[in-house]
């Protein structure tokens, strides 16, 4: 099957999720709330969340979201999903192009299939975040560097390289420049060609970077003044890097995270890389460059104080494609290679029985709906098929493809179940019902109780919600207003139960809407 057919298959598999799912309250709705505030205030370079400075992220992704809201007239999941899907597609295409230039043997799509279904790469492809946009520009910059390194670069590549680096920085922050800078410099030192560094990081590159940053920081200063600029340049860089105020973790954090970041290919990928290093199988310039990118990114992120699993995303394409290149250097009947795929396949095989167990667990039992059962059945059947191919046929590559198509089929089927699951995963259904009731009851205020970070509900409601205290509810000062709260918040709260027991109630997923 040709790569373009695999891209189409990948899109079809993800399409239900990209269209039907609700926004996640913690991050995605927060970004949309930030975008709405920027549009209302007419800001372009500076952003706020509930009126407070939000300098955590550069503007590029917010600009794309603002453009979508302006052109379409509202936030649409299909459009916002494309902001991650299209960059992910570009990453896949660039890695495929890189691999085709490297391989002299017959083309095998293993790297493409593994990256399409690999852990966090897959998750971030369908999540509204800035990370995949940054990874696209990082990948483009590294590919352009390698073209110049091999003497295949054009005159335009000397400018494209720093442009890509700046856009990576402008998408997410300092990691966008640190990964290309450290990876390329360390690689040049490793290959004994550090004297050529000016070809990549000479005055042209720094002029592009300084000009881009100069325009950005000037815009920030004109809109937000000294306070915002200080927050952007000092608090969000030095603060996170040296003594994190958020997500502080020990240096070995990523040594643990890598095992689920690469799922289900973690054992195969890590095993091939380690074996490739030990047995000196990493021989070509491309393989050595990929290994340098992996190690440089891994060490750099481990030394930074603030840590999140998602920060490892720039290394994932190389953590997948390096093993895919090394796969040709090993006999696919090798027992340890087959076992590295058999372990996740065995987990797949028990997916359906596990779902019957999950159905009995409070808090997540809602996922046990017919289409999810069907998806779990596909995963279990696929896991058994993979085990058969591995141990009966000793066909490693066929087992990789079987596992990939199993995952994509299951994602497609489970995605169709999202309309039934959305009330438990987001706030769209809750807010629509609250608006309907508010219009019916002729009220305009919305109060929430024990719903974390409720400020982003304004994306749906069109106005800010009010946070109610227990005293407010018990004192009957909210008479006639709507109160939104999780059903579990009142299960063991006798005083509040006594207040709402005689009131008009509406249940939406795990939430209650009370007419006080």
Of the residues 423, 441, 466, the one at which a domain ends: 423
Q: Tell me, yes or no, whether 223 and 339 share the same domain.
A: no
> In terms of domains, do 389 and 443 share one?
no
Q: 């141990």: which residue's tokens?
A: 391
Same domain, 347 and 419: yes
**Beta bridge pairs of residue 350:** none
Among 329, 362, 385, identify where a domain stops.
Answer: 329
CB 46 within 8 A of CB 31: no
Same domain, 317 and 437: no
Which residue, of 376, 403, 423, is where some domain finishes?
A: 423
Q: What is the pLDDT of residue 381?
A: 98
The pair of structure tokens assigned to 494 is 């006798």
- pTM of the shown model: 0.94
- For residue 325, the number of C-alpha atoms closer than 13 Å in the C-beta half-sphere is 29
Q: pLDDT truncated to tens, each residue of the chain (516 aa)?
A: 788 999 999 999 999 999 999 999 888 999 999 999 999 999 999 999 988 999 889 999 999 999 999 999 999 999 999 999 999 999 999 999 998 887 656 678 999 999 999 989 999 999 999 999 999 999 999 999 999 999 998 889 999 999 999 999 999 999 999 999 999 999 999 999 999 999 999 999 999 999 999 999 999 999 999 999 998 888 766 655 455 445 567 888 999 999 999 999 999 999 999 999 999 999 999 999 999 999 999 999 998 877 889 999 999 999 999 999 999 899 888 899 999 999 999 999 999 999 998 888 877 888 989 999 999 999 999 999 999 999 999 999 999 999 999 999 999 999 999 999 999 999 999 999 999 999 998 888 899 999 988 989 999 998 889 998 888 888 878 888 899 999 888 877 888 888 888 889 999 999 999 998
Domain identity same for 198 and 228: yes
Neighbours of 253 (CB within 10 A): 18
Q: Are residues 292 and 350 in the same domain?
A: no
Do 441 and 414 fall into the same domain? no
- Which token pair is 396? 């490693």
Q: Which helix H or strand E contains 512, and what residues bound it?
A: strand 511-515
Q: Which helix (H) or strand (E) holds 97?
A: helix 77-102
**Rounded CA separation 176/160 (Å):** 15
Distance CA 63, CA 70 (A): 10
Q: Domain limits at 476?
A: 427-515
Verify that 325 and 344 share a domain, yes or no: no
Residues 319 and 414 in one domain: no
The single residue listed with the structure tokens 């040296």 is: 242
Residue 448 and residue 403 share a domain? no
**Three-class HEC string of 386-436:** HHHHHHCCCCHHHHHHHHHHHHHHHHHHHHCCHHHHHHHHCCHHHHHHHHH
- Same domain, yes or no, for 106 and 218? yes
Looking at the fold, whether 412 and 455 belong to one and the same domain comes out as: no
Q: Strands (DSSP E) along 320-370, which ranges? A: none
Considering its fold, how many domains does the chain have in total? 3
The closest of 483, 460, 457 to 470, measured between CA atoms, is 483
**CA pair distance 89, 1, nearest whole angstrom:** 17
């Amino acid at each position: 099957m040709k790569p373009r057919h695999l891209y189409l298959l990948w899109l079809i598999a993800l399409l239900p999720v990209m269209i039907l799912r609700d926004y996640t309250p913690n991050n995605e709705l927060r970004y949309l709330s930030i975008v709405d505030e920027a549009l209302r205030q007419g800001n372009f370079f500076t952003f706020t969340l509930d009126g407070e400075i939000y300098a955590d992220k550069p503007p590029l992704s917010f600009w794309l979201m603002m453009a979508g809201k302006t052109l379409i007239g509202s936030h649409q999941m299909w459009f916002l999903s494309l902001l991650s899907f299209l960059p992910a597609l570009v990453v896949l295409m660039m890695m495929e192009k890189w691999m085709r230039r490297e391989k002299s043997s017959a083309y095998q799509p293993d790297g493409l299939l593994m990256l399409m279904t690999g852990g966090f790469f897959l998750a971030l492809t369908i999540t509204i975040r800035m990370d995949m946009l940054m990874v696209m520009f990082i990948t483009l910059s590294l590919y352009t560097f390698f073209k110049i390194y091999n003497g295949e670069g054009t005159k335009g590549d000397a400018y494209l390289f720093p442009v890509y680096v700046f856009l990576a920085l402008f998408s997410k922050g300092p990691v966008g420049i640190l990964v290309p800078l450290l990876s390329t410099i360390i690689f040049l030192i490793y290959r004994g060609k550090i004297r050529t560094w000016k070809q990549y990081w000479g005055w042209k590159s720094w002029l592009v970077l300084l000009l881009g940053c100069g325009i950005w920081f000037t815009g920030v200063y004109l809109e937000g003044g000294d306070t915002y600029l200080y927050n952007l340049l000092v608090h969000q860089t030095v603060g996170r890097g040296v003594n994190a105020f958020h997500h502080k973790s020990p240096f070995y954090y990523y040594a643990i995270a890598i095992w689920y970041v690469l799922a289900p290919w973690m054992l195969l990928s890590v095993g091939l890389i380690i074996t490739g290093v030990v047995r000196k199988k990493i021989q070509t310039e491309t393989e050595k460059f990929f290994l340098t990118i992996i190690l440089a990114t891994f060490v750099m992120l481990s030394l930074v104080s603030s840590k999140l699993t998602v920060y490892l995303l720039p290394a994932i394409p190389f953590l997948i494609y390096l093993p895919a290149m090394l796969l040709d250097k090993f006999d696919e009947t090798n027992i340890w290679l087959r076992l590295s795929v058999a372990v996740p396949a065995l987990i797949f095989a028990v997916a359906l029985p596990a779902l019957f167990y999950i159905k009995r667990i409070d808090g997540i039992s809602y996922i046990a709906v017919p289409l999810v059962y069907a998806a779990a059945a596909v995963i279990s059947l696929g896991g058994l098929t993979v085990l058969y191919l591995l141990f009966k046929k000793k066909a490693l590559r066929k087992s990789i493809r079987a596992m990939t198509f199993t995952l994509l089929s299951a994602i497609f089927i489970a995605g169709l179940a999202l309309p039934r699951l959305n009330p438990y995963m987001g706030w769209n259904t809750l807010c629509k019902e609250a608006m309907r009731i508010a219009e019916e009851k002729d009220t305009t205020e919305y109060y929430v109780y024990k719903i974390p970070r409720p400020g982003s509900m304004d994306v749906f409601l069109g106005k800010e919600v009010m946070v109610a205290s227990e005293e407010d509810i018990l004192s009957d000062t909210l008479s006639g207003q709507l109160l939104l709260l999780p059903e579990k918040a009142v299960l063991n709260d006798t005083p509040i139960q006594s207040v709402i027991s005689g009131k008009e109630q509406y249940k939406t997923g795990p939430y209650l809407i009370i007419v006080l």
